[in-house]
Amino acid sequence: MGYSGGKFNNEPTEEGALKDRIEKLERLVVRQLQARVLTRENVELLVKMVNEELQTAASGLRDRLEIIDTELRDVRASVVSLKRLNNKATRVIPAKAGIQKVRTVDSVLSTG
């Protein structure tokens, strides 16, 4: 502390005196804030409120994740079903073509 710009054993400069008063005021404001606002009880209450908000947010995210997991399982099951259907279709389509050829041959033979 001291008067900036002042000389040893001399009167302080006006600017130095003003800076000194500002520093004292700042320290007083910080002490008052610490004493009246940043009390242990207020800080504990703030921490509790923040924790509750975080828990609420986390719970919502867990619910959304559960819904997404369920939807993902449904989509995977649908994909498996579609693959099975595709496999059956690839076997059925040639078989139907073969049946149609047999019917055509049978029709020609029966009319001829």
Cβ-in-10-Å burial (0-12, 13-18, 19+) of 31 comes to exposed
Per-residue pLDDT tens over the stretch 60-112: 999 999 999 999 999 999 999 999 988 887 777 777 777 888 888 778 778 76
Query: Residue 1's pLDDT is what?
Result: 47
pLDDT, tens only, 64-76: 999 999 999 999 9
Exposure of 105 in the CB half-sphere (CA atoms within 13 A): 6
User: Is the predicted pLDDT of residue 2 greater than 60, yes or no?
Assistant: no
Tokens read off for 82: 């579609």
Residue extents of the structural domains in the chain: 1-38, 39-111
Q: Note the pLDDT tens digit of each residue in 49-59.
A: 999 999 999 99
Tokens of 93: 């389509």
Overall pTM surpassing 0.75 (yes/no): no
CA distance 80 to 49: 47
